[in-house]
Amino acid sequence: MEFRPILMIIGVLTAILGCSMFLPAIADALVGNDDWIVFVTSGLITTLLGAGIWASSFGYDQSLNARQAFFMTAIIWVVLAVFGALPFYWAGINLNFTDAFFESMSGLTTTGATVISGLDDLPPGILLWRSLLQWFGGLGIIVMAVAVLPMLQIGGMQMFRAEAFDTAEKILPRAAQIASNMTTIYIALTFICAICYWAAGMGLFDAIAHSMTTVATGGFSTRDGSIDSYESAIIDYIAVTFMILGALPFLLYIKMVRGDLLGLWRDSQVRTFLLLLAAVTLVAILIQYVDDIDRGEVAFRHAIFSVTSVMTGTGYATTDYGSWGGIAITLFFIITFIGGCAGSTSCGIKIFRFQVLFLDLKQHIRQILYPSGVFVKRYNGQVISDTVSASVMSFIFLYFFFFIILALLLSLTGLDSLTAFSGAATAISNVGPGLGDIIGPSGNFGPLSDVSKWLISIGMIVGRLEIFTVLVLFLPRFWRG
């Protein structure tokens, strides 16, 4: 395998990550916190190493084949997580390397699980760095989902292959073009979200930090109490709005900008996502009424916020929905796996895969009833090939297989069943908080053992990279070419 094109990309992205570390340095310097030195040091190391790797690889053939793309996609997240952990490890917040790597991986994969407590008292540099990691991670996820995964035919993503990019050799220019368009939309949504938060009463710093993690559907907050700390219904609804916007396909935003204003609503997965969100919200409201938890607007707000946060994988919290009883725990555990739309910052199995699974089931039943009939499966007017169906079914099988293995391994570390299974679910679905007293909405992952944290970190990256991207690296045939 030719590694130089891979190293060039890794070098560029590492250098960009290093340059971004100077922003938290400025934030800490402005308030007189000594951690600015940590960010400057980390930034210089990361930038110089990244630039050196890029310079040593520049000038060679920049095309990527599928094998190189698989390897690059998997390794870049690990490399960036290691460098992203440096400020956490060296700052004065007393994190060992396991905790620092966990926090960095959680940020870049937009999981939102945290080991840090006492957020209200932390210096602005660390808080801003957590938000930046999720913001960069969200953008990277969009580009990966639109430019790389369709090319690699991961889990049915080939249905979303962009036009005019049909060969693996065009992954690099394709990614560059898409990244440019996506970044513009992404920055615009983040800016609008920050303005809305600020106008609703958030401080300017908190508004900027939360806008980055909201649009990225990441969920890192500057407060221990998450969004609930602001005790504002307006802020809650703003968060819900932009969590939903972050979970919709970003390619459709580009089409809207180009004049196709109804493109979003015409998309089958967008309609299904919104209808499912409404249905689960209604169930959550009924649960609160039956158990006399909350009523009226408060019940509606807590329901739609919690459901949106979990389904999109954001992980914000305004209430401890884990205390709503067994039915609520089961409901939120199930929707942890669903996720948002393909080509968004959201996570989970994704809506379109459930749709393809339903269409396969529908066709199979009709074939039983009418053996001589010919039935064609269509998704958004596009014929679904057997290859796509096989990819989706394989993905869903491996998704739950890996979830069970991860849950069992977490159980062996001494965690109770609820914590182990919800921890595995929240890791592979990149949601953030789990269920139970330890890692629930009112807790964090700090009390877990180092072994548990490494297992969950592996779960986060495997879930974020949609399993196959990591799995193929362990096949001997992959390395033989």
Least confident span in 17-21, 23-27, 177-181, 446-450: 177-181
In sequence order, what DSSP letters do the residues of 30-71 get, joined into one string?
HTT-TTHHHHHHHHHHHHHHHHHHHHHHTTS-----HHHHHH
Contact (CB, 8 A) for 66 and 472: no
**What are the structure tokens assigned to 455, written together?**
């297992």
Question: Which residue intervals of 312-374 are DSSP H helices?
Answer: 326-335, 351-369
Phi, psi of 62 (to 5 degrees): -100, 10
Distance between CA 387 and CA 481 in Å, rounded? 22
Q: How far is CA 363 from the centre of its chain?
A: 32
Looking at mean pLDDT, say which of 91-100, 144-153, 186-195, 224-233 comes out highest: 186-195
Question: Residue 11's closest CA among 70, 63, 59, 76?
Answer: 76
pLDDT at 113 over 60: yes
SS3 176: helix
Residue 321 pLDDT? 85
Evaluated on CA atoms 323, 327, 332, 333, the torsion sign reads: positive
Tokens 């808080």 identify what position? Answer: 127
Residue 267 pLDDT? 87
Distance between CA 212 and CA 194 in Å, rounded? 8
**One-letter amino acid for residue 338 of the chain:** I
pLDDT band at 165 (very low <50, low <70, confident <90, very high): very low
Mean pLDDT of the chain: 87
Residue 162 pLDDT? 52
**What are the structure tokens assigned to 357, written together?**
């699974």
Residue 379 pLDDT? 80
pLDDT band at 288 (very low <50, low <70, confident <90, very high): very high
Half-sphere exposure of 266 toward its Cβ, with a 13 Å CA cutoff?
10
pLDDT band at 254 (very low <50, low <70, confident <90, very high): confident
Residue 479 pLDDT? 75
- pLDDT single digits (tens) 53-95: 888 877 666 667 778 788 888 899 999 999 999 999 999 888 9
Q: Give me the mean pLDDT over the 162-175 stretch.
A: 48
**One-letter amino acid for residue 140 of the chain:** G
pLDDT at 202 over 50: yes
Half-sphere exposure of 396 toward its Cβ, with a 13 Å CA cutoff?
19
pLDDT at 100 over 90: yes
Residue 460 pLDDT? 93
Q: Tally the residues of the chain.
A: 481
Angle at 335 between CA 356 and CA 390, to 5 degrees: 25
Q: Which residue has the higher pLDDT, 63 or 435?
A: 435
Tell me which H or E stretch contains 382.
strand 382-383
Distance between CA 49 and CA 54 in Å, rounded? 9
Question: Residue 147's closest CA among 155, 134, 158, 136?
Answer: 158
Q: Buried (b) or exposed (e) across 386-397, using 16+ Cβ within 10 A?
A: eebbebbbebbe
pLDDT band at 134 (very low <50, low <70, confident <90, very high): very high
pLDDT at 166 over 60: no
Q: Give me the mean pLDDT over the 353-359 stretch.
A: 90
Residue 256 pLDDT? 84
Tell me which H or E stretch contains 344.
none
pLDDT band at 473 (very low <50, low <70, confident <90, very high): confident
Q: Which residue has the higher pLDDT, 333 or 44?
A: 44
Query: Rounded to 10 degrees, what is the CA torsion of 407, 413, 416, 421?
Result: -10
pLDDT at 326 over 90: no
Least confident span in 128-132, 358-362, 470-474: 470-474
Distance between CA 175 and CA 152 in Å, rounded? 13
Q: Give me the mean pLDDT over the 294-298 stretch.
A: 90
384: left (phi over 0), alpha (psi -120 to 50) or beta: beta
Question: Which residue intervals of 247-267 are DSSP H helices?
Answer: 250-257, 263-266
Question: Residue 93's closest CA among 152, 24, 160?
Answer: 24
Distance between CA 389 and CA 153 in Å, rounded? 11
Evaluated on CA atoms 373, 378, 381, 386, the torsion sign reads: negative
Least confident span in 186-195, 197-206, 354-363: 354-363
Please state, in angstroms and as integers, the Cα–Cα distance from residue 11 to each residue in 45, 175, 460, following that order: 12, 16, 23
Residue 175 pLDDT? 60
Contact (CB, 8 A) for 14 and 83: yes
In sequence order, what DSSP letters do the residues of 188-222 get, joined into one string?
HHHHHHHHHHHHTT--HHHHHHHHHHHHTT----S
Residue 258 pLDDT? 78
Q: Which residue has the higher pLDDT, 444 or 187?
A: 187
Least confident span in 104-108, 191-195, 249-253, 426-430: 249-253
Distance between CA 56 and CA 79 in Å, rounded? 17
Query: Rounded to 10 degrees, what is the CA torsion of 403, 470, 20, 452?
Result: 40
